[in-house]
A and B are shown apart, each in its own frame.
Chain A
Amino acid sequence: MAILIVDDSDIVRDVVKQALNLYGYKDTLEARDGVEALEKVKKDSSRIELYVFDVNMPNMDGITLVGEVRKIDRSTPIIMLTTETDKDKMIKAKNFGATGWIIKPFDAPRFIKVVEMFLKKT
C-alpha cells in the first residue's frame, strides 16, 4: 500500500518522503500539484492507504483536491500540511472531507506518529 504525497515544494516532498522511508513506509507516490495528484488518484486509488496534501499549490490547490479525491475515494484518510495562518482554510478542508491537519514545520517523529494513527502497521 502506498502513501501519496502532494506538495509543490521539492523540499517538503523530500522531507516527508525521507521521514516515511525511515520508518518503513517505502511505498510512496508523489505529485507536485492537484491536477497531477488527481491523475494518480484516478489510476491508483485502490493502492493508496493515506494522502498527504499541501494546501497551497498551483493548478489545483489542496482543498479542491480533497473535494475531488472524495468523489473517488470516500474513506482513505487525508492529512493536510499547513502553516498556522491557514486555520480558516483548515475548517474548509475539513468540510471538504479532509481528516485533519498538521502544522508546518514538523519533525519526522511527530509526523510519523500521526501517520501511524491511521496506518496500524502489523
Chain B
Amino acid sequence: MNSDEVSLLIKKLIEKNSKFESGDLFAVAEIKDLYEELNLKLSEGEGLKNLTKFILILYELAESLLEPEKEEKILELFQAANQSIYDLLNVPEKKKTAIQMINETIAEIKKFKSEFAQNKKNELFSSVNLIINKVENLENGDLFLISEIKEDFENLQKQIEKNSSIECCLQDFAFLIEAFLFTNENEAIKKSALESLKDIILFYKNEIDINILNKKHDQRNQKINQIKEKMQLNESLSDKYSKNYFNNIIQDEKMLSQLCDEINDHMNKAQYTLVDLEYDETNQENINKIFRAFHTAKGSSAFLGLKNIEEVGHQMENLLVLVRDGKLRITSELIDVIFIGIELLRNLTSIMEVNQFKIEKMVESFKKVDIFSYIRLIKKILEQYSFKKIGQILEEEGLLRVKDVKHILQKQKETSKKFGEIAVEEKMITPTELENAVNKQTSSLKKSSYVRVSNDRLNLLVDTVGELVINQSMLRQILTDSKMDNKAVRERVISQLEGISTNIKNIVLSMGMVPIAEVFNKLRVVIRNTTTELGKAVIVDIRGEDTELDRNVIETIYDPLVHIVRNAVDHGIEFPGEREKGKKDRVGKIIISAEHKGNGIEISVWDDGKGIKKERIIEKALQLGLLGEDKIENLTEKEIYNLMFQPGFSTAEKVTEVSGRGVGLDVVKKNIDEIRGKIEIFSKEKEFTKFVIKLPLTLAIIEGFVTEVGENKYIFPFNLVDEIIVPQEEMLSIMDNGTMMLFNRGIYIPVIFSGKIFGESEYKKDTNNLVAIIIFYDNKHYAVVVDKVIGKQETVIKNLSEVLNDLAVFSGGTIFGDGTIGFVVDLDGFLDKVKDLEEKIKKN
C-alpha cells in the first residue's frame, strides 16, 4: 500500500465533496470511483479490514447523492468520514480520536438511513394534510384551487413509488374532482364527492404508513361507485336548461355527424396548439388558431341549433379575445380552463355520436351535462380581467358627475362614438384629461422594462450555443488527438462552426428588434390630440411601420418624434382658413415614414404646411447672438436650418400651448446624437417641411466589403457595392471642373479617390490599372477607387473611441482575424467629405 497515493485519493475526495453540485452525475461517479479505488488500495494493507468495510458503506451511500433530499446530510457525513480516514492513516497522534469518529459516523449513517425513511413519511403526511386543508376550503367551482390540488396530488404521486392501488386512487381522484366541479348545483353530490375526496386522501395517508387498507379500499370503492351512480341519475340538472333550450336542433343526422367531426377536429388542433402556447405564450398565431377553433365550433353549432355547444364556444371565444388582446396572460391555470373547455366540447360531441345523432336521446344526455358552472367560471375570469370603464375612471377622478355619465351613456346609444369622444365633444372634459384616463385604464397592462424574447428564439439560441460547445470540444479533440487531425474532419468542424456562429448572430440580432409601428401609432394619437386642441385638421399617412429597429433606439426616438410631430401640427400646418387662401386643401397632410436606406434607417416627418422662413431664422439667430453678421453671406441652406438646433432657439413667434413647453429642437438633436443618429431639415416656404432622421443600424455586425487603401484597410457596406471594375483608360474622362468621370454601362459616374478622402498619403494615383468599386447610394452611383479589393467578410463594428468621434467618415472600426484593425466607412460622412474637398478645390 502506498500511503502517498492513499492520501492523495482522500484529498481528492475531500475536494470533490466540497465542490459537489446537486444532480451532477460526473461528480457522483467520480466520488464512487474514488471510494472504490481507495477500497482497493487499502485492501492491500494489513489489518485494515474494518476500514475497508467502512469505505464500502460510504461507497454505497454515494449512490444516494442523486436524491436531492439526502444530499446535504450525505455530504456532511462524507466530510466527517474523509477527515477521519485521513487522520487515521496519516496522523498517528490522532489515531484514537479518528477511530472514535469513524464509529460515530457509522452510527450516524445508520441513524440517518432510518431517520430518512421516517422523515419521508412525515413529509408525505404533511403534504397530504395540506391537500386535506385545501379540499376543505374548496368553494363552488373554484377552478384555480382545484388545479392546485390536482398538482399537489400529482406531486405526491411522484414521491411515492409505483403502486397499483395508488394509481387507481389517482384516477378516482380525477373523477371526483370533475364530479365536484360539474355537479356543484347538487349539494348532496358535492358533499359526498368532497367526502370521498377526503377518503382518498386519507387512504393515501394510510398507504404511506402501512398497508392495512384492503378493507378500507373496498369501502372507498363503494363510496365512489355511489357517487358515480348518483351522477348518472342526477336529473336535477335538466332544470337548468330552459324548456325550449334544445328545441331548435336541426334533425339532419348527416349534418350533425359532420359537425361532430369538424368540432373534434378543431378541438384536436386547439389542444395541440395549447401545448405549444404553454411554452410560448407570446405566439399570436397560436392564440389565433385556438380562437378560430372555438369560433368555428360556435358558428356551426349555432347553425344547427345546438345551443349548449354554441354557448360554451361563445364563452371560450370571449376568454380568448382577452388573451389575444394581451389583457390576460397565459398561465397554467388559464390553460387548464381552456383544456376543460376543450374536454367539455368533446364530451358533448361524443354524446352526439354515442346516441347516433338521434335527437331525443341526445337531448336526454345533454341535459345531464352541466355547462353552466363552466360558463360561470369563465364569466368570473372575464370580470376579473376586464377594464374599468372609462366613465367609471372619470367619475372616480371627480371629472364627471354621475349625471354626466348617464347623459353620455344615453348619447352613446344614439351614435357609434366612444364614451370619451362624446365627453370631449360635450366639453365635459379636455382631451388631455381623457388621455390620462385612457392611460390609467391601460396602465395595468403597460409593458415592463425587461425585454420579452420569444421562447422559440431563446431556445434556439441556447440550443445553438450548445452546439457551439460541442463543436468546441470536437475542435479540442482534433487538436489533441493526432488521429483525428485530418483535413476532412477539420473542414467539417470549421464549416459547422461557421454555420453555428452565423445562426447565433442572426438570432441574437433578431432578439433586440421591434417594429416601429408602436411608436407610429402613438404619434397618430399625438397628432389627433394636438389638432383637436388647436382646431386644425390633418390627415396622417404612415408608411413603413413594420420597419424593425433596435428596442433601445425605439425608446429614445419616441420623444424627439413627438416633438417634431407636434411642431409640424403647431408651426407647420396652417389653420383651415389660411390654407384655403393659399389654395391648399383645407385639411393638412402629415406623412410619417420609416425605411431602410443604405447602411441605416431613415425616419422622416413631412408636412405640407407653411414651410420655414429662412430670413426669420437668420434674424432670430442674429438676435440671440448665435451668428455673426459677417457669416450670413456664406450660409448654405443646410447651415441655416441647422441653426434651429442651437440651444435656446425657438422660431415660434408666440409660445403656444402645444409646442412651447420649454423643450426645443436642441433637445431633439441631443437625443438623436445619443443614438449616433443624424437629423436634417428640408423645407420650401409655403410648401412643406421635412425632418429626416438617419439612424445607423445598431446591428453591430454587417456584411462588409474589405478594401485596402494606402497603409490601412477600409470596409464598405457590402449591400451598397454594385460591382468591382478595373476601368480601361478610355472609360475615364476629365470634366471641365477637373473632376474625373467613369463611363460605365451607359452612365457617367463620378470617380472618388478614396485615399484622398481617408487622408492616406501613399495610395495609387495613376490611372492605369485602377480598381474601382461601384457604390450605389441614395439613388446615385459613385466609383470609389481603392488600391486593392480583399473581399466580402462578416464585420463586427466596434466603437471608435470618443476621441475619434469627429471622424464622421467612419461608423466604427473592426478587428480582423489576424488582429489588425480596419475602419468601417459611413457613406454619408464619406460623401460629405467628398463635397467639402470639392468645394475647397473650387475656392482655391
Contacts and interface: CB of A to CB of B under 8 A. Distances in A.
Interface of A: 8-9, 11-12, 15, 54-58, 61, 64, 70, 74-75, 79, 83, 85-87, 90-91, 93-94, 97-107, 110, 113-114, 116-117
B24 A9 contact: no
Contacts of B462: 55-56, 83, 85-86
B459 to A, nearest CB: 5
A83 B22 CA distance: 15
Interface in B427-482: 459, 462-463, 465-467, 469-474, 476-477
Contacts of B28: 100, 114, 117
B25 A12 contact: no
Given A8-B463, A86-B462, A114-B29, A101 B23 contact: yes
B331 interface: no
A34 B471 CA distance: 23
Contact of A90 (B23, B158, B471): B23
B25 A61 contact: no
29 contacts: A9-B466, A9-B470, A11-B474, A12-B467, A56-B459, A56-B462, A61-B279, A61-B459, A83-B462, A83-B465, A85-B465, A91-B23, A94-B68, A97-B158, A99-B25, A99-B66, A103-B24, A105-B473, A106-B473, A107-B473, A110-B29, A113-B26, A113-B29, A113-B33, A114-B25, A114-B28, A117-B25, A117-B28, A117-B29
Given A91-B23, A117-B63, 12 more contacts: A9-B467, A54-B463, A90-B23, A100-B66, A103-B24, A103-B26, A104-B470, A105-B470, A107-B477, A110-B29, A114-B26, A116-B29
Contacts of B32: 117
B472 A57 contact: no
A91 B466 contact: no
Contacts of A12: 466-467, 470
Interface residues of B, number: 33
B496 A11 contact: yes
Specify the main secondary structure of chain A where it touches its partner.
mixed
A25 to B, nearest CB: 16
A42 B24 CA distance: 28
Specify the main secondary structure of chain B where it touches its partner.
helix
Interface in B22-57: 22-26, 28-30, 32-33
B19 interface: no
A66 B462 CA distance: 19
Nearest to B476: A105
Nearest to A100: B25
Contact of A105 (B22, B279, B463, B472): B472
Q: Which of A9, A64, A110 has the most CB of B within 10 A?
A: A9
Nearest to A111: B26
Contacts of B780: none
A57 B477 CA distance: 25
B449 to A, nearest CB: 22
A51 to B, nearest CB: 13
A101 to B, nearest CB: 5
Contacts of B26: 102-103, 106, 110, 113-114
A106 B162 CA distance: 33
A56 B470 contact: no
Nearest to A70: B158
Contacts of A99: 25, 66
A107 B496 CA distance: 19
B124 to A, nearest CB: 16
Contact of A75 (B30, B162, B496): B162
